[in-house]
Amino acid sequence: MSFFEREYREIITKAVCGKGKKFIEATHTISPSHRPTSILGCWVINHIYNAKKKGDNVEVSGSYDINVWYSYNDNTKTEVVTERVNYCDHVPLVVKDENCINDEVEVVAKAIQQPNCLECKIAAQGQKIVVEVEREFVVDVIGETKLCVRVDPNGCDNDDFDYELSSDDFSAIETDFLPSSSSSSHHKD
């Protein structure tokens, strides 16, 4: 009995064949143009990234800007220093399906925690600023795989379905649940 006589079919489809997640904390040192007296604020903006599969990992590379607002000259003046940070994170694939048909895969990475400042402080020497940043990614590797499915030998009977609606079908739709404009009331607090 051949494969097709057993009423099975092989279907080639795209499916998730790898998953991973990684949380990263990074420390960056920023050199302002003046000796800082105190930190007034810190924020991370302009995050961009891309991802590609490298062996059993997904390499997420990107960059963001760290902006630190600080005072100097004994808290009499302020300034914002901006520094562009580049990074390359390796996210291990903890779920791996070895049944992908070929090596052509699509990688989808999502930052579930955008880069965010955890702590910003003046370094012990007093001239530099130390910023701790957190970020977290989840990744999916999507590739072509083969599924084996059992097929009904009688096929599908599409005659049981009527895909056309008549005007009588529309008249049976209940509309009483919609409030009329005269019965609605507006409250002012």
Q: Which has the minimum average pLDDT: 43-52, 144-153, 178-187?
A: 178-187
pTM of the prediction? 0.71
Give every CB contact of residue 43 below 8 A, 6+ residues apart in sequence.
66, 67, 117
Cα separation of 91 and 4, whole Å?
A: 41
pLDDT at 9: 87
Q: Which has the minimum average pLDDT: 29-38, 123-132, 177-186?
A: 177-186
Please report, rounded to a whole number, the percentage of residues in the chain having pLDDT higher than 70: 78
pLDDT single digits (tens) 7-23:
788 889 999 999 999 99
pLDDT at 185: 43
pLDDT single digits (tens) 95-107:
888 778 888 899 9
